[in-house]
Amino acid sequence: MAVHEHSTAHMDCDNCPIRHRAVCARCESDELDALNAIKYYRTYDVGQTIIWSGDHMDFVASVVEGIATLSQTMEDGRTQMVGLLLPSDFVGRPGRDHAPYDVTATTQVTMCCFRKKAFEEMMLRTPHIGQRLLEMTLDELDAAREWMLLLGRKTAREKIASLLAIMARRDASLKPQGAAGQVVFDLPLTREAMADYLGLTLETVSRQISALRKSGVIQLEGKRHVVVPDIDRLLNETGDDADGGFFG
């Protein structure tokens, strides 16, 4: 029975890293049952704010489907995106009860939520979960630092190319691509959201995308559908080390 419950539970939350990777993977069904008992799902519409900065947060959550952003806004309205949440990413911090950032749904988003108190108790009993969370947090920190290099030192063109490369990489790992070196994907962000990601204005984003199109590095179909005929040409525009093994 334990095995059967296990595989059922597996289906309904495929992307939840807490259960799926740290617990499920080891088939420890007691833990799984405990997690199932304290979790619930919520869905948010495009553009909906999931959490306001400063809000009391009594849950932690994991993105099951869709894309959400973390962002910070200054009094005068300047905003900077500081996190991009993709399926399997985790939000919320055990041991802190007010949200430090706005969390907004960029597409329709489904979250797998755990009541914070119960989750914290769970963590104490189950070292796997804490370890998995540490690993994920360290990955996020590495990503944040890469992002800092982009914000502080890259040109507008390099910023755009880097963002496109990130999107391309993500999608390339999901679906096998056609011709060698070709990658096709849809931008999940508006020009304004891209600007907030990159520390630019939306006009500059638009101009640089046009420039990359004109120089043949990318092709656009509509506003959001991107064809990258030769991924290496795009990578050459990012300013990053040429011989990265991302698409190798």
The residue ranges that bind its own copies (CB under 8 A) are 70, 72, 74-76, 78-80, 82-83, 93-96, 100-101, 123-124, 127, 130-131, 133-135, 137-138, 140-142, 144-149, 151-153, 198-199, 239-242
Residue 207 interacting entry, from its own copies, DNA, none, C-beta within 5 to 8 Å by type: DNA
Q: Which is nearer to DNA, 38 or 156 (CB)?
A: 156
**Residue 223 within binding range of DNA, rule CB under 7 A:** yes
Residue 93 interacting entry, from its own copies, DNA, none, C-beta within 5 to 8 Å by type: its own copies
d(CA 107, CA 248): 30
Q: Which of 35, 80, 25 is nearest to 62 (CA)?
A: 35
DSSP label at residue 56: B
Looking at residue 243, its amino acid is D
Query: Which contiguous run of DSSP H or E holds residue 159?
Result: helix 156-174
Q: How far is the CB of 81 from its own copies (least distance, A)?
A: 8
Q: Which is nearer to its own copies, 6 or 169 (CB)?
A: 169
**Residue 105 within binding range of DNA, rule CB under 7 A:** no
CB atoms within 10 A of CB 125: 10
Q: Which of 26, 34, 27, 17 is nearest to 112 (CA)?
A: 17
Helix, strand, coil proportions of the chain in percent (round to 5)? 45, 20, 35
**Residue 225 within binding range of DNA, rule CB under 7 A:** no
**Residue 192 within binding range of DNA, rule CB under 7 A:** yes
Among 95, 178, 222, 245, binds DNA (CB under 7 A): 222
Q: How far is the CB of 132 from its own copies (least distance, A)?
A: 10
d(CA 248, CA 244): 8
